[in-house]
Chains A and B, each alone.
Chain A
C-alpha cells in the first residue's frame, strides 16, 4: 500500500489515473442509476462495444493519415454517440426489434475496431488496453477531455433529475404532463454514451457494464431514493476505482480487472448481508 501512496505522490501518471477514476465515478453514479432504473444496461453494453470501432478508426486516421490533431478519445465519443442515436431511433420507432439492433451494433462495432487496428501499423497491442482498460496510460489531453465530459454529463444528469426520474418511473404519465419524453430518452442515451466513454478510460470496453451497474446495485441495497442511490453509488464507484488501483499497483495486476473484481466482491457481500439481515428481521418479528 505504501508503494501505491509513493507512486501517487511522485508519479504524474498515477495522479492522472486517480483523477480519471474519481471524475468518472461521479458520472458513473448519476448515469448508472438512470441506466439501472430504466433498465437499459444492455444498451450501455452495445454502446460500449461500438467504442472500439471509434478508437480503432481514430488511431488509424492518426497513424496512417497523419491527423495529428485527432485524439483516440474523439473517436470514442463519436462512435458512442452514433451508436446511441441509432439505438434510440430504432427503439422509438420499432420497439420490438430493439434487441436485434443492439446485438448487431455490439458486434459490428467490435469488428470495425478490429479491422482498423489490423490496418494500423504497430498498434495491435493496443487492443488489450482498449478492451480491459489502460487507466495508467491516461494523458493530460485525455484528462481534459474527461473533465469536460464529466461536467457535461453530471450537469445535465442533475439539472434534469426530475424529468429523467419521471420517464424512468412512468413514461406514459410523463407524456401526459407534456414532457418531451422521446427527446429526453434520446438525451439519456447520449449521456449514457458519454459516461461509457469516461468509463472505457478506466476499465476498458468489456468491463464498462459492470462498473455502470454494480455500484448502483450495492447502493440500491442501502438507499431507497434515486438521489441517495446516485450519491452513494458515486462514492462506491470512487472507492472501487481507487481501491482497485491501490490493490493492483504493487503486484502489477491489470487495474481495470482488479477494480471490477473489487466491485463484484462488494456486491456479493452487500447481497449476502441484505439477505441475512432480512432473515434476522423476519425472525425477530415472529418472536
Chain B
C-alpha cells in the first residue's frame, strides 16, 4: 500500500497531543484545561456519560471544532494540516435514509481531497482502493447495493471502509456500536483490533463491556480527565472508575434526562 507522509513525526512525537484545552458550547464549559497524549499504534477508548464532551474531543482532534484555549496537535501539526492522515467514522449520517448512493460510492468518498482526486470521475486507482477497503471490512460482495438497503452493522462497516480508503494513520470512531447488537458489535471490535496493528485507533463509547477487551487505554471524561491502562483493571472496575454502571451503559434511554452523573 502506498504511503506518502508529508510530515514525518519526530521520534517520540505522539500521534495526538492535547495540551491545556478548554472548550465551551454557548458559554457552558465542556472541557477544562485538558491535557492528554496518545501515542502511535495506541487503541484508546474515550468513555464518559452523555454530555461529558467525548464527541467534542474527537471533533477537536479532527479540527472540526476549535478549542477556546490550549492547543491540539496531530503528528505535531494543527489538525487541519493532518487531516489526510485521519480517517473519521461518524455515529450517524444525517442525510436522507433513502439517499441514492451505492456502497462503493460511499467508500469512494474517502478518496476525496487527495491529490489526484480532483474534478471529474474517480480514477481506476481510487476504485481499486475503495474495493480493497470494502474487502477489508468484508463487504466487497455488497459493493453495488444501495447504501440504504444495508443493516445498521453493514452501514457502520461501509463507513469504516470509507475512512480506510484514505489510508489513515489514525482511525477515529464516534460511538461505533451504539446501534448494533452485541454479536455484531463484537465483530466490529475484532475488525478494529486488526486495524490497530497498523494504525492508531481512537473511539468514543459508552459501552465499556466491549471496549475493555481490545483497548489499551481508556480515557474517562468526567469533571476531571483520567487515563487508565486496561491491563491494570477489569471492565467492572473501569466502569466504577468512570462513574458508569455496566448495565446502564448499554441503553441510553436508561439515563433519565440524559444525565448519568
Contact = CB atoms under 8 A, between A and B. Distances in A.
A and B bind: yes
Interface of A: 37, 39, 159-163, 165-166, 168-179, 220, 223-226, 228-229
Contacts of A229: 100
29 contacts: A37-B99, A37-B100, A159-B119, A162-B109, A165-B105, A165-B109, A166-B109, A168-B99, A169-B93, A169-B99, A169-B109, A170-B90, A170-B109, A172-B90, A173-B90, A174-B113, A175-B64, A176-B62, A176-B63, A176-B64, A177-B83, A178-B80, A178-B84, A220-B100, A223-B100, A224-B102, A225-B100, A225-B146, A228-B100
B93 A170 contact: yes
Nearest to B92: A170
A162 B62 CA distance: 22
Contacts of B10: none
B25 interface: no
B95 A226 contact: no
Counting chain A CB atoms within 10 Å of each CB, the highest count among B80, B100, B105, B108 belongs to: B100
A177 B122 contact: no
Contacts of A162: 108-109, 112, 117, 121-122
Contact of A168 (B95, B102, B113): B95
Contacts of A226: 100-101, 105
Given A37-B99, A223-B100, A173 B109 contact: yes
Contacts of A163: 112
A37 B95 contact: yes
Contacts of A171: 94
Interface string B141-156: 0000010000000000
B146 A224 contact: yes
Contacts of B176: none
Nearest to A171: B94
Given A159-B119, A169-B95, A225-B105, A174 B100 contact: no
A169 B146 CA distance: 13
B43 interface: no
Interface in B141-173: 146, 162, 166
A15 to B, nearest CB: 33
B15 interface: no
Contact of B110 (A175, A177, A220): A177
B106 interface: yes
Given A37-B100, A162-B122, A172-B64, A177 B95 contact: no
B253 interface: no
A178 B83 contact: yes
A37 B99 CA distance: 7
A176 B112 contact: no
A198 to B, nearest CB: 23
Contacts of A224: 100, 102, 146
A170 B95 contact: yes
A223 B146 CA distance: 10
A178 B81 CA distance: 9
B86 interface: yes
B124 to A, nearest CB: 15
A214 B107 CA distance: 29
Given A37-B96, A169-B109, A174-B109, 14 more contacts: A37-B95, A162-B121, A169-B93, A169-B95, A173-B88, A173-B109, A176-B88, A177-B83, A178-B84, A179-B112, A223-B100, A225-B146, A226-B101, A229-B100
B127 to A, nearest CB: 12
B256 interface: no
Contacts of A178: 80, 83-84, 113
Interface in B18-73: 62-64
Given A162-B112, A165-B105, A166-B112, A176 B86 contact: yes
Contacts of B80: 178
Nearest to A219: B100
A172 B86 CA distance: 13
Contacts of B88: 172-173, 176
A226 to B, nearest CB: 5
B112 A177 contact: yes
A162 B101 CA distance: 11
Contacts of B84: 178
A177 B86 CA distance: 8
A173 B91 CA distance: 11
A179 B100 CA distance: 21
